[in-house]
């Protein structure tokens, strides 16, 4: 729900539709980026100032997650994570008041961060296949869960990480605030397999937790002889 405007319907193709009351009826309107001459100029100027946006326009890519602005007064600000990037929307009561602030190339930023987190002797970040898996927005900070695998590796190990970005500005973020690898989730990715889905809220980062710790306080006598003979060379060991 997008209070007090209505409810947002998101399709798997990243098309967003706002369902709202219009008098005595229920109306729908599609959230679409600017079109036409002025919209195109605005997009080109944005690309010149903030870098090329490769996220694509609304309706392109696969929808991953839609999140509100979190603990702020901007109740009508939405963030849309697609398989291509991150969009920031400001919704108004009328269709003409809807505004797409930016489409950030989050995938490109995350790809560089994943590659830098594990230095290699050769290659480049372009070797990585990347997935944007989940999004959480709180207090002006967006956290994106990503997964990546080196497509040129003989043993493709899937690596996960959490990328954070500041999203309070109307301009697209040019860099990540931080990137935290999650080595505990790493796994070998079989051919044709997709990454396992996790939620940002379900992941905890920090120092490893030790369930218990017990110190050795005294010597204990121990004497064991290992013998095994089942054909071929035998095994023998004396352990004390």
Query: What percentage of the chain carries pLDDT values higher than 70?
Result: 77
Collapsing DSSP to helix, strand or coil, 107 comes out as helix
Alpha carbons 154 and 160: distance in angstroms, whole number:
19
Q: How far is CA 144 from the centre of its chain?
A: 3
User: How confident is the model at residue 68, as a pLDDT?
Assistant: 81
**Among 81-90, 185-194, 227-236, which is the least confidently predicted range?**
227-236
CB 113 within 8 A of CB 64: no
Average pLDDT estimate for 107-136: 89
- The pLDDT of residue 140 is above 80: yes
The pLDDT value given to residue 108: 93
**For 142-157, how does the pLDDT look when each residue is reduced to its tens digit (9 = 90+)?**
999 999 999 888 888 8
Say if residue 57's pLDDT is above 50.
no
Q: Write the DSSP assignment of 46-72 as a string of letters.
A: HHHHH----S--TTSS-EEEEEE--SS
* Span 176-184, average pLDDT: 91
Of 41-50, 57-66, 67-76, 183-192, where does the model show the most confidence? Answer: 183-192
Q: Report whether pLDDT(15) > 80.
A: no
| The predicted structure's pLDDT at residue 220 | 85
- Edge-first strand listing for the sheet containing 178-188: 128-138, 141-150, 157-166, 178-188
Residue 74: pLDDT above 60?
A: no
Would you say residue 221 has pLDDT above 70?
yes
pLDDT at 143: 94
Nearest Cα neighbor of 110 from 78, 141, 84 is: 84
The pLDDT of residue 205 is: 67
């Amino acid at each position: 729900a997008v209070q007090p405007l209505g409810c947002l319907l998101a399709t798997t193709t990243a098309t967003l539709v706002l369902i709202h009351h219009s008098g005595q009826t229920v109306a729908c309107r599609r959230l679409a980026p600017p079109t036409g001459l002025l919209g195109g100029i605005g997009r080109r100027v944005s690309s010149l100032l903030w870098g090329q946006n490769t996220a694509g326009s609304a309706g392109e890519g696969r929808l991953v997650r839609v999140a509100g602005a979190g603990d702020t007064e901007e109740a009508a600000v939405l963030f849309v994570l697609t398989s291509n990037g991150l969009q920031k929307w400001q919704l108004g009561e009328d269709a003409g008041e809807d505004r797409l602030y930016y489409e950030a190339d989050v995938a490109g930023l995350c790809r560089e961060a994943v590659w830098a987190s594990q230095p290699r002797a050769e290659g480049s970040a372009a070797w990585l296949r990347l997935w944007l898996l989940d999004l959480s927005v709180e207090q002006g900070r967006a956290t994106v869960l990503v997964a990546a695998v080196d497509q040129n590796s003989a043993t493709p190990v899937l690596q996960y990480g959490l990328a954070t970005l500041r999203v309070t500005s109307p301009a697209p973020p040019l860099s990540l605030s931080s990137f935290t690898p999650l080595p505990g989730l790493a796994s070998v990715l079989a051919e044709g397999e997709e990454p396992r889905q996790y939620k940002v809220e379900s992941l905890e980062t920090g120092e490893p937790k030790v369930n218990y710790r017990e110190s050795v306080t005294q010597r204990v006598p121990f004497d064991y002889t290992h013998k095994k003979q089942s054909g071929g060379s035998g095994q023998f060991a004396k352990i004390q």
